[in-house]
A and B are shown apart, each in its own frame.
Chain A
Amino acid sequence: MTAMTKWINEVGPQNDIIISSRIRLARNIRDYPFPIALIKSKSKEIIKEVSDSVISGCEILKNEFLLQEMEFLNPLDRQVLMEKHLISPNLISNADKAAVMMNGDESISIMINEEDHIRIQCLLPGLQLDEAWSMADKVDDLLEERISYAFDEQLGYLTSCLTNVGTGIRASVMVHLPALTMTGYINRILQAANQIGLAVRGIYGEGTEFAGNVFQISNQLTLGRSELDIIGNLKDVSRQIIQKERDARATLIENSKLQLEDKVCRSYGILANARILTSQEAMKLLSDVRLGIDMGIINGIKCKNLNQIMIMTQPAFLQKLANKALSTNERDTRRASLVREKLGSE
């Protein structure tokens, strides 16, 4: 099920620290009320207008994109899409009016009737913000061939929330920063990021905790700066964070090699043997093992790609694999056995 999702399965540049890069563009169609004030019949018109312009706009895309209306998708499948970061929680809460279009490798998802009529999202593994922007920009041009966007000379692209007005762009990277967390430097980094207009969140968006030392860093402001400026700023900061994390990893090896090896190997030992694993414990231990693999402390594991395990051990994904609803206890058992299987020796 993760087989086709590009960001989960493929390796990108700087993948040992930057898990994924994402560009999201918010767009609205002129002359329709925003989704918050939209009646259902109108929402269907919008879904049709957007899907028509994707499908008829370009021969190549015709067979690439699949349209899924949220109301015809069962709650578990919706949740799986969210756990794969392809749709937002907001799209699910708008299920009766919303839809999503995704391409074959799920690197592009076009959310329809989320907070805005159109949310173009491009998601790639590793540090590939420019590549993701270029994809999103093309999809945007394609949609605009048929759709008239709500655009104002002064304010730019008009959005339902003022925090998106202007470029409508949200650029973000998902980063794994275990060494900065262990050495305690993380707070300074997060503060610095905040000061230059970047927001730091847990991986499932606003209000989620920093599970497994994974952070999401994104631009906060969307007006008065060009897309390339915004992306350039995030890219520069990402490069600095990569350097700081590498330095912190080197410091750990230099000053506390044995302790680090002990921590990583203990975590691996638990993951490789546990019979019950909560989601939170799994995330925490997987972070150690990921660090261990990246630093060459752990070798010879079957599954090199911890992104897969991270996503497959999420609640909805486990239920999808089991093909039935599972209680929390059942999930914890299944999670443990899935991790044991994936982390077994070659």
Chain B
Amino acid sequence: MLCENCNKKPATVHLTKILNEKKAEHHLCEQCATQQEGVYFDTSYSINNFLTGLLDSIQDSPIKIDYIQTTKCDKCGMNYGKFKQLARLGCSQCYNAFQEKLGPLVKRIQGNEIHVGKIPRKAGGAILTKKEIKSLKVRLDEAIRKEDFEHAVLLRDEIRELESKLGD
């Protein structure tokens, strides 16, 4: 259906007016509709508002006012209120600072929470090393519990070596 006013654009606004018990229907495009007397609707739609609008509707952790004002990223100074307004994070540290709220939001936007795909060699290497250290520490605890000190010393050296590699 085309807009009855300009006859050019598709009619996307369907208006029912009841005046003095007389009903009239109008089918207009958005542009013509905004020019109609007595019609107000918000056209200031933006993707930013939309994304961060989701924050308020996330059910599992209701927003407290002091969260908005006091939760702040130490690194770049971005606070939660500003993030909501800009829909952009200020630095990689913000992901930690707003973790509580971002987790569910990421899930909503992306439908996923875990990265699959390319891992950078450098940063990725450190991640793998950290994982290895973690599992070695578990084995070390086990060795100590079993009083297998010979093995424990070997594990301890291995952990130290990996940790010094991480520190480089």
- Listed in ascending order, the chain A residues whose CB lies under 8 Å from chain B are 28, 30, 32-34, 36-37, 115, 137, 140-141, 144, 148-158, 160-163, 165-167, 169, 206, 221-227, 229
Contact = CB atoms under 8 A, between A and B. Distances in A.
B47 A206 contact: yes
Contact of A227 (B90, B91, B109, B117): B117
Nearest to B91: A33
A225 B106 contact: no
A23 to B, nearest CB: 12
B88 A224 contact: no
B76 A33 contact: yes
Given A33-B75, A162-B110, A155 B115 contact: yes
B9 to A, nearest CB: 11
B113 interface: yes
B105 A137 contact: no
B90 A166 contact: no
Majority-rule SS of B interface residues:
loop
A167 B118 contact: yes
B116 A151 contact: no
Given A34-B89, A151-B124, A224 B76 contact: no
A134 to B, nearest CB: 12
Chain B interface bracket (under 10, 10 to 19, 20 to 34, 35 or more) = 20 to 34
Contacts of B13: none
Nearest to A153: B127
21 contacts: A33-B75, A34-B88, A34-B89, A144-B122, A148-B122, A151-B119, A154-B114, A155-B106, A155-B115, A156-B117, A161-B88, A162-B105, A162-B106, A162-B109, A166-B115, A167-B118, A169-B117, A223-B110, A223-B111, A223-B113, A224-B112
A263 B119 CA distance: 52
Contacts, number: 118
Contacts of A37: 76-78, 90-91
A81 B21 CA distance: 59
A33 B95 CA distance: 12
Contacts of A149: 120, 122-123
From B91, B95, B111, name the one whose CB has the most chain A CB atoms within 10 angstroms: B91
B143 interface: no
Nearest to A36: B88
B120 A144 contact: yes
A101 B112 CA distance: 33
Contact of B91 (A32, A137, A141): A32
Nearest to B110: A223
B51 interface: yes
A345 to B, nearest CB: 35
B77 A166 contact: no
Contacts of A169: 117
B165 to A, nearest CB: 15
* Nearest 8 CB-CB pairings of A with B: A224-B112, A156-B115, A37-B90, A150-B92, A223-B110, A151-B123, A226-B117, A33-B91
Contact of A225 (B75, B102, B116, B121): B116
A167 to B, nearest CB: 4
A141 B51 CA distance: 31
A28 B114 CA distance: 19
A137 B118 CA distance: 9
B112 A221 contact: yes
A164 B26 CA distance: 41
Interface in B86-141: 86-92, 95, 102, 105-106, 109-124, 127
B50 to A, nearest CB: 11
B117 A167 contact: yes
Given A33-B75, A155-B95, A165 B118 contact: no
Contact of B118 (A150, A162, A163, A227): A227
Given A115-B88, A162-B105, A154 B113 contact: yes
A78 B88 CA distance: 25
Given A33-B76, A156-B115, A225-B116, A28 B102 contact: no
From A28, A154, A167, A224, name the one whose CB has the most chain B CB atoms within 10 angstroms: A224
Contacts of B127: 151, 153
B113 A33 contact: no
A32 to B, nearest CB: 7
Contacts of A224: 110-116
A227 B118 CA distance: 7
A144 B121 contact: yes
Nearest to B47: A206
A222 B106 CA distance: 11
A159 to B, nearest CB: 8
Contacts of B113: 154-155, 223-224
A36 B86 CA distance: 9
B39 to A, nearest CB: 23
